[in-house]
Amino acid sequence: MSVCEKYFPEEPAGPHTASAVPGPQSQRAIQSLGQVFDSRPAYFVADYTRSVGNYIADVDGNLYLDVYAQIASIPLGYNNPALVAAAKSDRMVSAIVNRPALGNFPGSDTEHIIRDLLKVAPQGQDKMWSGLSGADANELAFKAAFMWYQLKRRGAGAAFSAHETASVMKNQAPGAPDLAILSFQRAFHGRLFASASATCSKPIHKMDLPAFNWPKAEFPAYKYPLEAHRDANSREDARCLAIVDTLLKSWNVPIAAVLVEPIQSEGGDNHASAAFFQGLRDLTLAHGALLIVDEVQTGVGATGKMWAHEHFDLEPKPDMVTFLKKFQSAGYYYHDPALTPAQPYRQFNTWCGDPARMILAGAIGHEIVEHDLAKQAARVGDYLYGKLAKMADKYPDYLADLRGKDRATFIAWTFKTPQLRDRFLADMKTVGINIGGCADDSVRLRPTLVFEEKHADVLVAGIEKVLLGY
Amino acid sequence: MSVCEKYFPEEPAGPHTASAVPGPQSQRAIQSLGQVFDSRPAYFVADYTRSVGNYIADVDGNLYLDVYAQIASIPLGYNNPALVAAAKSDRMVSAIVNRPALGNFPGSDTEHIIRDLLKVAPQGQDKMWSGLSGADANELAFKAAFMWYQLKRRGAGAAFSAHETASVMKNQAPGAPDLAILSFQRAFHGRLFASASATCSKPIHKMDLPAFNWPKAEFPAYKYPLEAHRDANSREDARCLAIVDTLLKSWNVPIAAVLVEPIQSEGGDNHASAAFFQGLRDLTLAHGALLIVDEVQTGVGATGKMWAHEHFDLEPKPDMVTFLKKFQSAGYYYHDPALTPAQPYRQFNTWCGDPARMILAGAIGHEIVEHDLAKQAARVGDYLYGKLAKMADKYPDYLADLRGKDRATFIAWTFKTPQLRDRFLADMKTVGINIGGCADDSVRLRPTLVFEEKHADVLVAGIEKVLLGY
């Protein structure tokens, strides 16, 4: 019996379509919700009580195979019984009703909760700080980076100067220093102000927001299939690393950290080689900047390893690794004690995370290890990639630049035009498959970790059915 | 039987002290936790399973009357049975394990959840947008304000220009415009980058963070007792409003919104009059800026009204009201449809809030209305204020500038020196009372909404006991 069958004996064999999408019930509910909440982005209204495993139900009786999974966020399928047990546990109930200010009044179970998250930490990381959203996780990491950078400049043990304490209250240097985070074109790191200043995937994400003047390097744009373009792609790595080197040397303000996704997800599932990432690691060391790896979307098993950057065997390990989505709990891992600010109450806020969501993350990590679900994702991903590669030969306009080989189910491909892509995303729902896009012209697969070969078959059949109509 | 007795028949009659604070068990646990998490700000390690109502237990067997309540965040007492029931409900379990991306895939219960929060919305507000932390709530409101401001400038229906879409990707104007939020000296609005740029209470909150060049007006500094200084305080209002007027007219970049706390909390429980706030409302209207009221700490009943700014009867109502803490769920209320961005996916992120925490907020709101707990807080606050006013005559060095008359239990006072204040905060724990400070020299009371006269008596006796030793 497969892991999925053990969790979900009642999971159906395939999708069920009962109405157009969105159906009449969904349309009514979206309109009504719109009176009090921005419901314009809603695709349909879900019935989560009837959703199960890899299948999401809507209020019109449709049941979709879900390979988007709440924007890459459902780790172990809908209504997973192991997570239901965690949600019903006494410690979860207490975390919900007695939400502690974890910094001032940690509970007797706080260390246990945190150590459960550390059990699945990236290689080399042994401490963490917790937050609430992906943007929050990244901005908390920025804070740690800027404090670390200024500590270096100020000298260990040095107190804040009177000039610093006075100027910071006016939002002026030196207390509020001109420092930057370097990120990449096509990167997505969140939509608050500092995180949006690091984001560079689409104008709509940040239009009209005041921004910090932070630089963007180019992220490699590879030619596919990779095997056929080794030399060109290697030159592309070198070209992009040279840009990073130049920016680190010559940007108009000092750069405290380089921030990068192991796979640029929102920006188009853009991959880069282990050599590129090791090159980044080397450049940050050479220039005295930190390396922050944003694993908000790539982390927690979906690429066949618990953390996607572990594919690169970086040495030394990244300085900080941010997380959320499939982990359901936000924050960053780190290992260097110098990244804990020298004074308390600097990396601090009322709650310092949400123990309820952290308890859930502990349960998610436990299940992934217990059932070796990252390895299973790798196996299923290989199976699915093989099928898609064959289809790609048949439908070159609809399945170009297939990406994600050896990255489990973290697979994407490109359409000839954004219009074709958008039509495909909509048509897939009509055959009972909920699937998502990235960039303007690509599709990204983000199934759960209990997505197995039989689900891959349903997905492939659905794609074939839609493409046959084109 | 009082509301508290109904909720907590087992609540003890007073605190119990069993060890020094922190006790040996707490000290060991704080040190151990410190290996993986910054535990330096921990006062003690709590045992939340043994905490009840207004009393928090620690792992050394101490039981404290808690008038700090997780930095003003526990609404209805520890292990409140009504909230335990909400936490055990099927819809809570589903919200925990099937966390939806509320924007793309709202659930069949999403509108119901949101309408429960709107039942206790501030007067005049009928829509909301949800976030995750207080800083997040404020920054989401900033985003809405900047998008609104640029829409006005661009003209309704106008598309983004090519110059805007190109420049925003480089973090440059006009796509990333130079716009500001005006806040006040001594204000606290959070510790992420934009929120920290609006915060101005202590250097430690924002030292070493790059900041936006946003202006700070002066917040009124009143003379106490208020009755004896009416004219001087009224002149202070006029002086501070004139500063706001000047900044709105002459700051080097346009100001999209004025952000203000109804009572500056972290910054010292600084109060201002209804006339001052109406003056602010008038100035924002005159200069085409929005008024954002930050009710993160003041909201949800603690001042004797559901929302503290309702004491001011502002007309027209504020444009946005941000919330969190006692509501356990973050976001902002608003009413003007023009504050919903003209395009979807602009005020958007993966989860758009946490329905689990929103379900809890709905239950909290329901209990407050059902038991009229804001009114009860007003009654108990009057009782407590009267007792403290008498003590203030006796201990002028330790109980100066008593603040919070007619603001229920939202009471604070000032010590002659920061050293005396710090000593008092520590000594209060030794008599079994957990109490918190604000600014450098003040104490703030932030009990739950089930804090009654008998608890006020325990608090007053504890204060008296400590002060007698000075």
**8-state DSSP, A289:** -
Contacts of A204 in chain B (CB under 8 A): 343, 345-346
Q: What is the least distance, in Å, from the CA of B13 to any CA of chain A?
A: 21
Instruction: Report CA-CA distances (Å) from A216 to A94, A236, A259.
Output: 44, 16, 10
Q: How many CB atoms lie within 10 A of CB B219?
A: 25
Task: State yes or no: pLDDT of B204 exceeds 90.
Answer: yes
* Nearest CB neighbour to B203, from listed A149, A175, A324: A175
Would you place residue B458 in the very low, low, confident or very high pLDDT band (cuts 50, 70, 90)? very high
Give me the pLDDT at residue B333, please.
98
> For B345-352, what is the mean pLDDT?
96
CB contact under 8 A, A126 and B79: no
Task: State yes or no: pLDDT of B257 exceeds 90.
Answer: yes
Would you place residue B156 in the very low, low, confident or very high pLDDT band (cuts 50, 70, 90)? confident
**SS3 state at B1:** coil
Q: What is the mean pLDDT of chain B?
A: 97
Would you place residue B242 in the very low, low, confident or very high pLDDT band (cuts 50, 70, 90)? very high
Give me the pLDDT at residue B157, please.
86
| pLDDT tens-digit readout, A431-445 | 999 999 999 999 999
CB contact under 8 A, A208 and B350: no
Give me the pLDDT at residue A156, please.
86
* Nearest CB neighbour to A194, from listed B103, B136, B193: B193
Residue carrying the six token digits 């056929």: A228
Question: Position A363: which residue type?
Answer: A
Question: Position B231: which residue type?
Answer: D
CA dist B247 and B217 (Å) reads 7
User: What interface predicted TM-score (ipTM) does this complex get?
Assistant: 0.97
State what percent of residues in chain B have pLDDT above 90.
Answer: 99
Q: What is the least distance, in Å, from the CA of A393 to any CA of chain B?
A: 33
CA dist A297 and A71 (Å) reads 9
The full set of domain ranges for chain A reads 127-351
Residue carrying the six token digits 């069949």: B108
C-alpha torsion angle, residues A283, A285, A289, A295 (rounded to 10): 80
Please tell me which residue in A66, A294, A354, A427 is annotated as part of the active site: A294
CB contact under 8 A, B41 and A210: no
> For B132-146, what is the mean pLDDT?
98
**How much is the pTM?**
0.98
Q: What is the least distance, in Å, from the CA of B224 to any CA of chain A?
A: 26
Spacing of C-alpha A217 from chain mean position: 20
What residues in chain A have per-residue pLDDT under 70? none
CA dist B346 and B325 (Å) reads 26
> CB pairs below 8 Å between A and B: how many?
387
Q: Where is A291: in which H helix or E strand?
A: strand A290-294
CA dist B151 and B129 (Å) reads 19
CA dist A139 and A132 (Å) reads 11
**Pairing label, strands A127-131, A436-438:** unpaired
> Do residues B338 and B311 touch, judged by C-beta distance below 8 A?
no
Contacts of A111 in chain B (CB under 8 A): 29, 32-33, 36-37
Q: Edge-to-edge strands of the sheet including A436-438?
A: A400-403, A412-414, A442-444, A436-438
Q: Best interface-test mutation with B: which of A33, A105, A328 has the largest number of B CBs within 10 A?
A: A105
CA dist A232 and A221 (Å) reads 10
**Could you report how far apart the first and last alpha carbons of chain A are, in Å?**
38
Residue of B nearest to A96 (CA): B87
CA dist B105 and A42 (Å) reads 6
Spacing of C-alpha B185 from chain mean position: 17
Which residues pair with residue B78 across a beta bridge? B53
Give me the pLDDT at residue B456, please.
98
CA dist A405 and A386 (Å) reads 9
Q: How many residues does chain A have?
A: 470
Contacts of B48 in chain A (CB under 8 A): 94, 98, 100, 107-108
Residues of B serving a catalytic function are 188, 294, 325, 350
Report, at the CATH architecture level, how domain A127-351 is classified. Answer: 3-Layer(aba) Sandwich (3.40)
> Do residues A314 and A281 touch, judged by C-beta distance below 8 A?
yes
CB contact under 8 A, B168 and A203: yes
Annotated catalytic residue A245: no
Residue of A nearest to B196 (CA): A171
Q: Where is B424: in which H helix or E strand?
A: helix B418-430
Give me the pLDDT at residue B13, please.
96
Would you place residue B168 in the very low, low, confident or very high pLDDT band (cuts 50, 70, 90)? very high
**How many Cα atoms are found within 13 Å in the side-chain-facing hemisphere of B2?**
18
CB contact under 8 A, B203 and A169: yes
Give backbone dihedrals phi and psi of B16, rounded to 5 degrees, phi first.
-135, 125
* Nearest CB neighbour to B106, from listed A45, A104, A325: A45
Please tell me which residue in A206, A325, A326, A429 is annotated as part of the active site: A325
**Pairing label, strands B320-323, B330-334:** antiparallel
Give me the pLDDT at residue A78, please.
98
Give me the pLDDT at residue B87, please.
98
